[in-house]
Structure 1
């Protein structure tokens, strides 16, 4: 679907073939470097755009890491006047120091347009539940803006709030005839469990729901299939991005994940050698092409990816990407490295009749410990089969314990309906006035 854009942004179909895509990138990279040179962070790190001899010369420039963004907090990468900023965001700050990210209205048009390219095909007939964070992060805002830009109705549910519990999500999905939900993959499993706890069938009692649009976690084919089965076979569609960039890749009508390489230059970077290439396996490094407020030059997302440039029946002529996970999603036990994605693939390959939705694992010095929820009559069998599978596929000593449903994800989590209450200062004699300002 071609939409009118206020900015001079590329539209799918404007180029035919990867050579034309590369020329499009070449035409924009000097603009990005010129803007970047005007920021405190990039001064002294970059050379003038006139000395660049093409996209391949980007590989000679230093890599920008998340630690650099922390050091440049809050406005070290600002390339426009403060008056032009539309929004300011920060990462979750799990390291103790935030990374800042900021956007102009023009930047938001770019982000929303990229997100809306997905094969989910948002339109005026859709009601879209946004169940990702709004507070400080960009993820909820990009989905909200993209849905509104395509005329859809938005239900701003958020997932960092007590206002909207899991039980309330289920009610909204059903009562509002939600057609598309945007969330973490785990949320889709939690909603399904909450619906079942309330006596509903996720695959039957939500006939309007046509797609689950997910991001933010690894999504193996086995997990995707499990989510789809739980919800009656509807499409589970993946997006990939970050707080600093917004959407970086989305699925085409053929179900393949494509990088939005007309809006940024993607490179595969090997941190061990410092070499970069257009395709292959390594860290994803990107250089923005249309970012006004905060141009990023060779930004290393620290995600391991596999990039290919190959023809696809969709005709988009954009590289395909397989997201292999982050280094933080790998843990060692003994001499073996265990990745979350390989564990996930094994868990969700268990037979559907076992009812497995939730699991957890931890690496100990001499073995891997795993717990998996299953229906009571199959819990022991599920544990035994998973233990054998992990030993065979990972070559690691492991101990798997079957847990009854409700032990990993409690019934209170699935059924809780109480939410946010407002602060107040006047109480009756039988009320707890110690909660005057405890209004979570």
Structure 2
């Protein structure tokens, strides 16, 4: 997207991190000035000189998710309401919502960042967006990026009863979809639904050329498995509803922080120290966000950031997101994490056709259930139990289940009727559907 007319920094316009830091320093005073217009930052910055550089900025307190909740709905607003284009709330919020809002100008920055895909997006693409279109940013963000690049966008909201998996498969096949955006688990569900419909995922969708994914932990082994199933690359994205895209994957498979569009810090919650690289919690200051500027916003994601050169030549720091993978449950003396357990499950041979599994960590034993065809059931059970013992040193109860036990076949094949609201029915119609709008 180097030919953008937005005036925002574009990939290829700098040589290394020193140039990027100059871009940050140039934009930061404007960002701070925008922030000072909001009730929240007006109070926070009232008694101090406005930060003029990154060193000054580091003296400010962190902005937290709780700050956003406490200032719901408009305490973070830095522009007149009339200038707002969209309002969003993040998923998984307990109690008071975490609000986010953007102007039309903010959306140019958002869409350009998401569109930085090494595989490219153009008017030749049919782009299936299969993430929520509700209050979260994710579906709207991909949609806007697709349109920015001229792609034909297919809005396949994954929270809508109007878009069951059978319809996803039909759309993928009949519309000759080239690019998609979904959480990683969706791609396994699509593969099962495609197989149930008589399709071969790696052969019967020849137009497909890339699967974009984010919003869910994804191990290397599961990613490679999804790529083998569909025969195309799986391309990761990292961001949040509060910030939009923060990092994207380069051709060499590394996630790069968009440091030309945001200032990043690595924060150690135990010491309070901040660095430009290393391990800690990721703190972000978006540089081109006017409606709701965020100064030193702590995402509370544990990350590892490196400023070493990457062969791709983008000249941006790389990031590994560690936070969600680090959470686990105790079994005996071991801590079981989903990330490590997933690696074991998807290290089973592809020929076993294991796609769906679940586990429960109990004080003395790890219970695992996985769908697997009968001819591979005992081998898969024994191999996974042995891997768990070797890796974690704990007892496990691994049970192989027939396909359809965890993900019912009806979920993959049904095409439910979507009823539009009405109150008048004929003599042979089911009027119990009058208030059931699905």
SS for the counterpart of 1:44 is helix
Segments of structure 1 that go 5 or more residues without pairing to the other structure are none
Q: What value does the CA root-mean-square deviation take over the aligned residues?
A: 1.7
What TM-score comes out, normalization by structure 1 length?
0.95
2:3 pairs with 1:3: yes
Distance 2:159 2:94 in 1: 19
Q: Assess if the C-alpha contact under 8 Å between 1:104 and 1:293 holds in 2.
A: yes
> Hey, what does 2:248 align to over in structure 1?
250
* Alignment match, 1:408: 406
Paired position in structure 1 for 2:143: 144
Equivalent residue, structure 1, for 2:16: 17
2:126 corresponds to: 127
1:392 counterpart = 2:390 = yes
Question: Structure 1 residues 111 and 406 mapped into 2: Cα distance closer, same or farther (>3 Å)?
Answer: same
Distance of 2:131 and 2:227 partners within structure 1: 19
In structure 2, the CA distance between the partners of 1:262 and 1:364, relative to structure 1 (3 Å rule), is same
Counterpart in the other structure of 2:102: 103
Match of 2:379 among 371, 381, 384: 381
**How does 1:337-356 map onto structure 2 within 5 Å?**
337-356=335-354
CA deviation after TM superposition for structure 1 residue 93, in Å: 4.5
Deviations 1:2-23, CA, capped at 9 Å, x for gaps:
13233x3111122111111112
Does the 8 Å CA contact 1:287/1:297 hold for their aligned counterparts?
yes
Task: Judge conservation of contact 1:93–1:99 (CA < 8 Å) in 2.
Answer: no
Moved more, 172-181 or 254-263: 254-263
CA contact (8 A) 1:33 1:48 kept: no
Question: What's the offset of the Cα at 1:379?
Answer: 1.7
TM-superposed deviation, 1:408? 0.7
Task: Name the stretch that deviates more: 397-406 or 163-172.
Answer: 397-406
How many Å apart are 1:368 and its aligned residue? 2.0
Q: Which residue of 1 aligns with 2:264?
A: 266
Q: Report if the CA contact (8 A) 1:131-1:157 is conserved.
A: yes
Contact 2:32–2:50 (CA under 8 A) maintained in structure 1: no
Q: Partners in 2 of 1:13 and 1:373 — Cα distance?
A: 47
Instruction: State the Cα deviation string for residues 244-287 of structure 1 (Å, max 9, x = none).
Output: 11111111122221111111111111222221111111111101
Q: CA separation in 2, counterparts of 1:302 and 1:433?
A: 50
Distance in 2 separating the partners of 1:218 and 1:93: 15
Q: 1:390 to 1:45 in 2, by over 3 A?
A: farther
Q: Which residue does 1:62 correspond to in 2? A: 61
- Over 3 Å counting, the alpha-carbon distance change for 1:290 and 1:94 in structure 2 is closer
Asked whether the equivalents of residues 33 and 49 of structure 1 are also in contact (C-alpha less than 8 Å), the reply is: no
Q: CA–CA distance in 1 between the matches of 2:241 and 2:140?
A: 10
Q: Secondary structure at 1:201's aligned position in 2?
A: coil
How far is the alpha carbon of 1:393 from its aligned partner? Answer: 1.7
- Identify the residue that residue 222 of structure 1 maps to in structure 2: 221
Contact residue 164 and residue 419 of structure 1 kept, 8 A: no
Equivalent residue, structure 2, for 1:26: 25
CA distance in 2, matches of 1:49, 1:254: 44
- Asked if structure 2 preserves the Cα contact closer than 8 Å seen for 1:34 and 1:49, the reply is no
Q: How many angstroms does 1:63 deviate by?
A: 1.5
Return 103-112 or 274-283, whichever deviates more: 274-283
CA distance in 1, matches of 2:171, 2:205: 10
| In structure 2, C-alpha distance between the alignment counterparts of 1:327 and 1:271, rounded to whole Å | 18
**Does residue 1:360 correspond to 2:351, yes or no?**
no
Question: 2:112 — aligned with what?
Answer: 113
- Are the counterparts in 2 of residues 379 and 402 from structure 1 also a CA contact under 8 Å? yes
Q: Which runs of 5+ in 2 are unaligned?
A: none
Asked if the contact 2:32/2:51 (under 8 Å) is kept, the reply is: no
Aligned to 1:75: 74
Question: Aligned to 2:436, which of 421, 435, 438?
Answer: 438
CA deviations over 1:24-54 (Å, ceiling 9, x no partner): 1112222222221221122333367855363
Alignment partners' CA distance in 1, 2:379 and 2:420: 48
Match of 2:233 in 1: 235
- Partner of residue 88, structure 1: 87
Deviations 1:172-200 (A, max 9, x none): 00000000011111100000000101111
Alignment partner of 1:324 is 2:319: no
CA distance in 2, matches of 1:297, 1:51: 12
| SS of residue paired to 2:42 | coil
**Are the aligned partners of 2:28 and 2:52 in contact in 1 as well (CA < 8 Å)?**
no
